[in-house]
Amino acid sequence: MDRVWAEVAVAATKTPSHSTELGAALLSAAMALPCIMGAAHAESAPEKGTLSFKFLNYQERQQLGKDTAVGGAPLSGYSGASAFDERIRVKASATNIMLPLNAEWSMAGTLITDSISGASPAYHTQALSGMKDFRRAVDTSLTRYLPNGTLTVGMSHSGENDYVSRAVSVLTTQVSEDKNTTWTAGLGLNRDAIQPANFIVTHEQKKGADLLLGVTQVFSMNDIVQVNLGHYSGHGYFSDPYKIYDERPRDRQHQTFQARWNHHVAAWGGTSRLAYRYYTDTWGIRSHTLDAEWVQRLGSDWRVAPLLRLYSQNAARFYVEVDPRIAPFPPSPLPSAVHFSEDQRLSAFGAITMGLKVTRQLNVDTSVDVKVEQYGQKAVWKFTGVGSQGLAPFYARSIQVGITHAF
Amino acid sequence: MHASSSLAVQRYPFRAMGSACEVVLVASSAQDAQRLAQSAIDEVLRIERKYSRYTADSIVAKINQKAGLNAVVCDDETWALLQYASKLHEQSNGLFDITSGVLRAAWNFKVPAIPSAEMLDELRAKVGWQKVVLKNQSIALPIAGMEIDLGGFGKEYAADRAAQVLQTQGVASGYVNLAGDMRFLGPKLTGEPWMIGIQDPRHPDQVVATLPMVQGGLATSGDYERYFELNGERYCHVLNPFTGWPVKYWRTVSVTAPAAVVAGCTSTMAMLMEQEGLSFLQATGFDFLAIDHAGNVHMRQQAA
Amino acid sequence: MCAKFLALMALLALQACSHIQPVAAWQKGTLALPEMSFDDDLLERGYKEHIYSSKEASAGGSGVGGGGCGCN
């Protein structure tokens, strides 16, 4: 009858778990032998390339007639005709290819095309007006694998009818000797050109820079943690030309703190993936995001992962609340206000996402996945305090289907 | 819910180095698995042919033939292995000695008999790595009858090389097992480790412990592979190069380390060091399981 | 004020490092699982970041680069 390692009795020695000088000497002697330990680099290009496709079908809607922040009283003017009004619908397809060029170089490219149609409010959650647009974005990057880490440079270009965005980025990772710690630093620069279809403004632009510093640490065979600090600084046109009463500052800076933890439970074949992000910006917005996912392996081919996301933000300093006395008509900003906006996205609210992703491994190189998510955004769901009043609850359903193949 | 056949674990048993061996891996198709396993097996057989004492055209046979005569030029791989043997000789203060194989002549494990002191003295005169001349990528054994034998780490080296062959072809789940000297490529596809049983040194059909293995090497040295018993004493095949006598302290020593070659040399050195073996194992920092002559179990395993 | 908060968060994170048990190279099997990575499924993360940053005021957290859009 065999006994598992941990149960064997007597004299279990407890000494530090790191390699000793003697151990290191024995190891380094063996390093002289031809090719028994694999690549000398801490990181080397992956052995296989990958090709992935993912399709997205996204549908938004809002529930008119319910003011969920202030006592549930219906807004005046509610016709009661339909419980929901459709908002934006997006059908997108994304393709990514990653190709190792040799042991020290790899490249990657992503192409995304979005078909966007539907309706968007002109202010708060009122006056939905139709729109239709098509966006294509291309991303490319080149990675060099160095003895202690990597260096990646990237470029991206995104174009739609009224908005073109160009960006470059550089990212470096440094891996510790024992490969348990990875430091990350990244810098991105973007320049966007805005030419709205309604000619409210012409030849506008927005420039920004963002910086990322992060560290990833392996805590044990089953635990890995990552902490990231981000800073963004942007200048230019931030307003939404399709919304009325929208005049935002020409500067915006934000900082983010993010911590993520993946924990594997070998006994169950499952892994918990938890993340928290704190966001704060110069428009007075602060938010908290909590992500929780559990990836459960079933047999050797299947993975099932339910997920939950909780989000809460407060309103921008210059957000103009719905005025129940004159709703559904838009309130005028105060005469003294330099900046103002009636964009729902800058209001105070909380949001909950629930979803499920199922992945099937077809063979060692290929897998397919399906993910369904339901998102809800409501003022009452703000974590603390009171959310913005008078906004219709907002819902979105998204379905993603993907396939990825290594070659 | 059952594992689809395309992702089942494929096992390829074969014989090499006088023992039962096996390549275990997961691949995208049966043909791929077959081809990959064959490439690993080919590498093991290549090393066997090149370094076996028995095959006429092996480099080891050539070096031994020239003992007391002249130097033999070595290729890069052989030179690297000899350099490694040198380092091990140094690390173990002479206990790990690849010239100690001639002592086997004194211990015929099929016929239980203690050799005479004269016989041992005569053989011990032909033992001693410090006597070997290594120069200009060539090796000379100065005394006729001297022999080198890479059996001390040959199987472990072959396991590491075969695993490397698989790893460069993208295999990330499986292992190579050469009669208990093993190198792992990665856990099962579910993320679970391979559960490897360590043979009970006194009951061959029983397992004394089960080790979860995911990567790196696992090797075991024991007093039960070749031995004879006389008057209640066991005489095994692990011989001390200074005295010529078999070691007695340990029944079995198993070690895990990043490479099988390191695990194997560490376990062998621990056997040779006898009582000092335990502090040696602790000093290496590697995980180990050792059972001494009285049946006491000593071990270290990092918390998972 | 927010700078102090961020510095505090970073400090707490670093303090947690005292509980690290270094993992030897040959023990890393589980860490190679895709669900243990922070970088798996690039396209899914791309969609996720894009959707949330166009419906909420926050953006970013773990990446740089990638352009913007005029999402409404």
pLDDT tens sequence across C42-69:
999 999 999 999 999 998 888 776 667 7
Task: Give me the residues of B, 188-227, that contact C with CB < 8 A.
Answer: 191, 193, 214-217
Rounded CA-CA distance A37/A94 in Å is 37
Q: B303: which chain C residues are within 8 Å (Cβ-Cβ)?
A: 21
Mean predicted confidence (pLDDT) in A57-84: 61
Predicted confidence at residue A48, as pLDDT, reads: 83
Please name the member of C26, C32, C33 whose beta carbon is closest to the beta carbon of B216: C26
pLDDT of amino acid A301: 86
Rounded to whole angstroms, the Cα distance separating C9 from B293 reads 55
Top-level class of domain B59-148: mainly alpha
3-state secondary structure of A42: coil
C-alpha span between A364 and B164 (Å, rounded): 19
Inter-chain residue contact A257 with C59, CB threshold 8 Å: no
Which residues of chain A does C68 touch, with a Cβ-Cβ cutoff of 8 Å?
158, 163, 165, 167, 190, 192, 206, 208
From C5's Cα to the closest Cα of chain B, the distance in A is 34
pLDDT at A30: 82
* The pLDDT of residue B5 is above 70: no
Window A:117-136, CB contacts with C under 8 Å: 120, 131, 135
Q: Among C32, A243, A6, A118, which Cα is nearest to B171's?
A: C32
Residue A140: phi and psi, rounded to 5, are -135, 155
Written in H, E and C, the secondary structure of chain B is CCCCHHHCCEEEEEEECCEEEEEEECCCCHHHHHHHHHHHHHHHHHHHHHHCCCCCCCHHHHHHHCCCCCCEECCHHHHHHHHHHHHHHHHCCCCCCCCHHHHHHHCCCCCCCCCCHHHHHHHHCCCCHHHCEEECCEEECCCCCCCCCHHHCHHHHHHHHHHHHHHHCCCCCEEEEECCEEEEEECCCCCCCEEEEEEECCEEEEEEEEEEECCEEEEEEECCCCEEEECCEEEECCECCCCCCECCCEEEEEEEECCHHHHHHHHHHHHHHHHHHHHHHHHHCCEEEEEECCCCEEEECCCC
> Residue C19: helix, strand or coil by DSSP?
helix
pLDDT of residue A6: 34
Percent of all residues in chain A with a pLDDT value above 90, rounded to a whole number = 61
Phi, psi of C71 (to 5 degrees): -70, 135
> Per mean pLDDT, which range of A12-16, B144-148, B279-283, C14-18 is the poorest?
A12-16
Nearest Cα residue in chain B from C30: B191
Contact criterion met (CB < 8 Å) for C24 and B258? yes
Tell whether A87 is within 8 A of chain C (Cβ): no
User: Across the strands, what pairs with A143?
Assistant: A106, A152
| Cross-chain residue pair C36–A264, CB shorter than 8 Å | yes
| Whole-number pLDDT of residue C21 | 56
**Residue A72: pLDDT above 90?**
no
Residue B124 sits at φ, ψ, to 5 deg, of: -65, -25
Nearest-CA distance A220 → chain C (Å) = 6
Instruction: Return the H-helix or E-strand segment holding A24.
Output: helix A21-31
**How far B186 CA lies from chain C's nearest CA (Å)?**
6
Per-residue pLDDT, averaged over A384-397, amounts to: 92
d(Cα A173, Cα B168) in Å, to the nearest integer? Answer: 24
Cα angle, residue B129 at apex, residues B128 and B133 outer, rounded to 5°:
120
**Chain A contacts in chain C segment 31-70 (CB below 8 A):** 31, 33, 35-38, 41-44, 46-47, 51-52, 54-70
Q: How many CB pairs under 8 A join A and C?
A: 219
Q: Do C70 and A194 touch (CB under 8 A)?
A: yes
The rounded distance, in Å, linking the Cα atoms of A184 and B182 is: 36
> Distance (Å, rounded) from C-alpha A386 to C-alpha A67?
13
CATH of A19-406 given 2.40.50.140, 3.90.1170.50, 2.40.160.40, 1.10.20.60: 2.40.160.40
Determine the residue of chain B that is closest to A223 in CA distance.
Answer: B304
pLDDT given for residue C23 in this prediction: 60
Crossing angle for the helix pair A21-31 and B277-284, to the nearest 10 degrees: 80
The residue among A257, B19, A407, B299 whose CA lies nearest residue C2 is A257
The answer to whether B69 and B62 are in contact (CB under 8 A) is no
- A127/A392 Cα distance (integer angstroms): 12
- Residue C6's pLDDT is 58
Q: Is A391 on the interface with C (CB under 8 A)?
A: no
Whole-number Å distance between alpha carbons of B27 and B4? 12
Q: Indicate the DSSP class of residue A124.
A: B
Q: Which residue of B has its CA nearest to C33?
A: B191
Chain Cα centroid distance, residue A24: 41
Q: In whole angstroms, what is the distance from residue A294 CA to residue B25 CA?
A: 28
Which pLDDT score, from 0 to 100, does residue B270 have? Answer: 94
Reported as a pLDDT band with limits 50, 70 and 90, residue A69 is very low
Residue B199 clears pLDDT 80, i.e. is over it: yes
CA distances, A215 to each of A183, A188, B79, B271 (Å): 5, 18, 42, 43
Q: What is the pLDDT of residue A25?
A: 80
Instruction: Decide if pLDDT at A76 tops 50.
Output: no
Which chain C residue's Cα is nearest to B189?
Answer: C33
Say yes or no for a CB contact (<8 Å) between C27 and B214. yes
User: Is pLDDT above 90 for A85?
Assistant: no
In order, the DSSP letters of C21-50 are: -PPPGGG-GGGGSGGG-SS--HHHHHHHHH
Chains that touch C (3 or more CB pairs under 8 A): A, B
Average pLDDT for residues A315-343, to the nearest whole number?
90
* pLDDT, tens digit (0-9, with 9 covering 90-100), for B245-297: 999 999 999 999 989 999 999 999 999 999 999 989 988 888 899 999 999 99
Span A275-301, average pLDDT: 95
- The ranges assigned to domains in chain B are 5-51+153-300, 59-148
In chain A, what residues touch B26 (CB-CB under 8 Å)?
364
- Where in chain A are the domains? 19-406
Residue B127 has pLDDT above 70, yes or no: yes
Q: Mean pLDDT for chain A?
A: 86
How does pLDDT run across A209-233, given as a tens digit for each residue?
A: 999 999 999 888 789 999 999 999 9
Q: What is the pLDDT of residue C2?
A: 57
The reported pLDDT for the residue numbered A59 is: 96
In this predicted structure, the answer to whether residue B208 has a pLDDT above a threshold of 70 is yes
Please work out, in degrees rounded to the nearest 5, the angle formed at the alpha carbon of residue B88 by the alpha carbons of B86 and B91: 115
- Bridge partner residues of A39 (DSSP): none
| pLDDT band, residue A199 (cuts 50/70/90) | confident
pLDDT of res. A367: 94
Domain B5-51+153-300: state its class: alpha beta
**Mean model confidence pLDDT for chain B:** 88
Alpha-carbon span A5 to B258, nearest angstrom: 19
Q: Which residue has the higher pLDDT, A241 or C19?
A: A241
Rounded mean pLDDT of A372-384? 95
Closest chain C residue to B217, measured at CA: C26
pLDDT at residue A174 tops 70: yes
- Strand, helix or coil for residue C72: coil
pLDDT surpassing 50 at residue A98:
yes
Tell me, what's the pLDDT at B145? 92
Q: Is the pLDDT of residue B65 over 80?
A: yes
Position C26 confidence tier, pLDDT thresholds 50, 70, 90: very low
Who has greater pLDDT, A200 or A116?
Answer: A116
Q: Which residues contact A368 (CB under 8 A, 6 or more apart)?
A: A359, A360, A362, A401, A402, A403, A404
Rounded average pLDDT over A139-155: 93
Question: Is the pLDDT at A66 greater than 50, yes or no?
Answer: no
Distance CA A228, CA A211 (A): 10
Pairing verdict, β B233-236 and B250-257: unpaired
